[in-house]
C-alpha cells in the first residue's frame, strides 16, 4: 500500500520553474476572467443566454480535442516549440474574441483560445513534473496556488475596466501583452524545456498505458466535476438556501476561491513530505464533510463558512490529480498530462449541465447531493487503486 509520508523534497524555484508558473497564471487569468465578460458580450451582441453559453461549450470541446492531440504535437515539435505556438494561438484567439463583431467571430475565437491554452498547459504541466522530479506535485500545486490568486483578481480587473473608459477588453489585452513578454523571456530557456522532454520522450501506444492510469483518469474526471459543479451552482445555493440577494450571492462565490487559494498554499508545503494519495484522501474528506454541512446549514454565515472549507478541500483536485495521473503513467508524462485535460474538459462540460437539469426538477439543495456522490466515488478509487510516485516522480511504485 502507498505510504503516507516520504522524505521532504522541495521544488527548485529557478528561472525555468518561475516562468512556467507565470505562464500557468496568465492562462488562469484569462480562463477565470473571460466568464465575467460573457454577460457584457451578450449585451453588446444582443444575443441570448443560449448563444452566450455556447462559448463555454465550444471552449470545452476545443480543449478536449486539443488535449488528445497534444502528445503527438509534443513528439513532433518538442515542448518548447509547442508552448510557443500554442500561446501565440491563444493570444490571437483572445484578440479575435475582443473584436466588436458578432458570434460568428467570437465563437471560432474562443475555440482557438481553447486549443492554444490546453496544448500549452499539457506541455507546461508535463515539464514541471519532469523537471522537478520528486518535487513535481508540490511544484504544480504552487503553480496552481498562483493561478488561484489570478482567478480572484481577473473578474475584478474586468469589472474595473468595464466601469472606466478602458472598457472590459483592457484586462484581456493585458494578458496578450504579458504572454508576449513571458515568451520572450522563456525563449532563452528553450533547451531546458526540451531537455526534460527528451528524457521521457518515448510514448508508445495508447494501449500500452498502465491500467491504473485509466483509474486515475476517472479520478481526475470526478474531481474536476466536483470543482466545476461547485463553482457553477454555489451562487444558486447561496440564493435558495442562504437567502442572499443575487448580488450578495455572486460576491459570496469569492469565498470558495479564497478557500482554494489558502488550500493550495498550504498543500504546496504539505506535498513536499506527504504522498499524493494521502493528501488527496484528506482533501476529499474535508470537501465531502464540509459540503454535507453546507447542505444542512440554516444561516448565511454558516453556509459561507462551509463553502470556504469546501474551497480548501477542492483546492488540490487539479494539481494533485494531474500529478497522480502522470505518476501512474509509467513514464508517459505527456500523455498523462493530456489525459488529465481530457478528463477535466469532459467533466466540466457534462456534470454542471446534469446538475442544473436535476436542480430544475428537485431544487438546488437536492441536486448538490451529486457532488458528495462524486467525492465518494473519488475516495473509493483512492483507496482501492492506490498510486505511489517513485523517487523520480515519473513511475508508479508497486504496492
pLDDT value at residue 6: 52
Question: Helices in 210-253 by DSSP H: which ranges?
Answer: 211-240, 246-252
pLDDT tens digits, 296-309: 998 999 999 999 99
pLDDT tens digits, 83-120: 999 999 999 999 999 988 888 899 999 999 999 999 99
Task: Please state the φ and ψ torsions of residue 379, each to the nearest 5 degrees.
Answer: -65, -40
Q: Rounded distance, CA 232 to CA 242, Å? A: 16
Q: Rounded distance, CA 117 to CA 62, Å? A: 10
Query: Does the pLDDT value for residue 166 go beyond 50?
Result: yes
Percent of the chain with pLDDT over 70: 89
The dotted CATH code for 15-384 is 1.20.1250.20
Least confident of 197-206, 215-224, 258-267, 278-287: 197-206
Burial code (b: 16+ CB inside 10 Å, e: under 16) for 112-123 equals bbbbbbbbbbbb
What mean pLDDT is predicted for residues 323-340?
Answer: 85
Percent of the chain with pLDDT over 90: 40
Q: Rounded distance, CA 385 to CA 2, Å? A: 10
Q: Rounded distance, CA 393 to CA 399, Å? A: 16
Q: Rounded distance, CA 363 to CA 168, Å? A: 34
What mean pLDDT is predicted for residues 210-219?
Answer: 90
Is residue 152 a contact partner of residue 97, using CB atoms and an 8 Å limit? no
In total, the chain counts a number of residues equal to 399
CA 134 to chain centre: 21
Which run of H or of E encompasses 118?
Answer: helix 103-132
Q: How far apart, in Å, are the Cα atoms of 135 and each of 122, 306, 320, 342, 382?
A: 18, 31, 12, 24, 21
* Higher local confidence (pLDDT), 112 or 228: 112
Query: Does the pLDDT value for residue 211 go beyond 90?
Result: no
Going by pLDDT thresholds of 50, 70 and 90, the confidence category of residue 338 is: confident
- Model pTM? 0.78
What mean pLDDT is predicted for residues 238-257?
Answer: 81
Query: Does the pLDDT value for residue 278 go beyond 90?
Result: yes
What is the residue extent of each domain of the chain? 15-384
Amino acid at each position: 500500500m502507498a505510504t503516507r509520508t516520504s522524505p521532504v523534497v522541495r521544488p527548485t524555484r529557478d528561472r525555468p520553474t518561475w516562468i512556467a508558473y507565470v505562464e500557468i497564471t496568465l492562462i488562469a487569468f484569462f480562463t477565470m476572467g473571460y466568464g465575467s465578460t460573457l454577460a457584457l458580450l451578450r449585451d453588446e451582441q444582443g444575443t441570448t443566454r443560449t448563444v452566450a453559453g455556447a462559448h463555454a461549450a465550444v471552449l470545452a470541446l476545443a480543449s478536449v480535442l486539443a488535449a488528445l492531440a497534444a502528445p503527438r504535437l509534443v513528439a513532433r515539435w518538442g515542448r518548447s516549440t509547442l508552448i510557443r505556438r500554442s500561446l501565440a494561438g491563444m493570444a490571437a484567439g483572445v484578440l479575435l474574441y475582443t473584436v466588436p463583431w458578432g458570434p460568428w467571430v467570437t465563437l471560432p475565437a474562443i475555440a482557438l483560445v481553447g486549443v492554444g491554452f490546453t496544448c500549452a498547459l499539457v506541455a507546461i504541466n508535463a515539464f514541471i513534473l519532469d523537471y522537478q522530479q520528486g518535487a513535481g506535485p508540490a511544484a504544480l500545486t504552487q503553480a496552481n496556488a498562483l493561478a488561484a490568486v489570478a482567478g480572484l483578481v481577473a473578474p475584478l480587473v474586468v469589472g474595473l475596466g468595464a466601469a472606466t473608459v478602458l472598457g472590459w477588453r483592457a484586462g484581456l489585452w493585458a494578458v496578450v501583452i504579458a504572454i508576449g513578454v513571458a515568451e520572450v523571456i522563456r525563449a532563452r530557456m528553450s533547451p531546458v524545456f526540451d531537455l526534460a522532454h527528451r528524457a521521457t520522450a518515448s510514448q508508445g501506444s495508447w494501449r500500452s498505458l498502465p491500467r491504473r492510469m485509466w483509474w486515475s483518469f476517472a479520478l481526475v474526471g470526478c474531481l474536476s466535476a466536483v470543482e466545476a459543479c461547485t463553482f457553477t451552482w454555489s451562487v444558486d445555493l447561496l440564493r435558495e438556501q442562504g437567502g442572499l440577494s443575487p448580488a450578495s450571492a455572486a460576491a459570496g462565490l469569492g469565498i470558495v476561491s479564497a478557500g482554494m487559494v489558502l488550500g493550495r498554499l498550504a498543500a504546496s508545503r504539505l506535498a513536499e513530505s506527504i504522498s499524493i494519495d494521502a493528501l488527496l484522501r484528506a482533501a476529499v474528506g474535508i470537501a465531502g464533510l464540509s459540503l454535507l454541512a453546507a447542505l444542512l446549514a440554516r444561516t448565511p454565515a454558516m453556509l459561507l463558512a462551509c463553502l470556504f472549507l469546501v474551497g480548501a478541500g477542492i483546492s488540490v483536485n487539479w494539481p494533485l490529480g494531474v500529478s497522480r495521473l502522470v505518476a501512474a503513467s509509467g513514464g508517459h508524462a505527456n500523455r498523462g498530462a493530456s489525459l488529465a485535460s481530457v478528463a477535466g474538459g469532459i467533466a466540466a462540460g457534462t456534470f454542471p449541465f446534469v446538475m442544473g437539469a436535476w436542480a430544475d426538477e428537485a431544487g438546488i439543495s437536492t441536486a448538490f447531493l451529486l457532488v458528495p456522490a462524486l467525492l465518494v466515488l473519488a475516495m473509493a478509487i483512492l483507496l482501492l487503486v492506490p498510486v505511489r510516485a517513485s523517487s523520480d516522480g515519473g513511475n508508479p511504485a508497486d504496492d
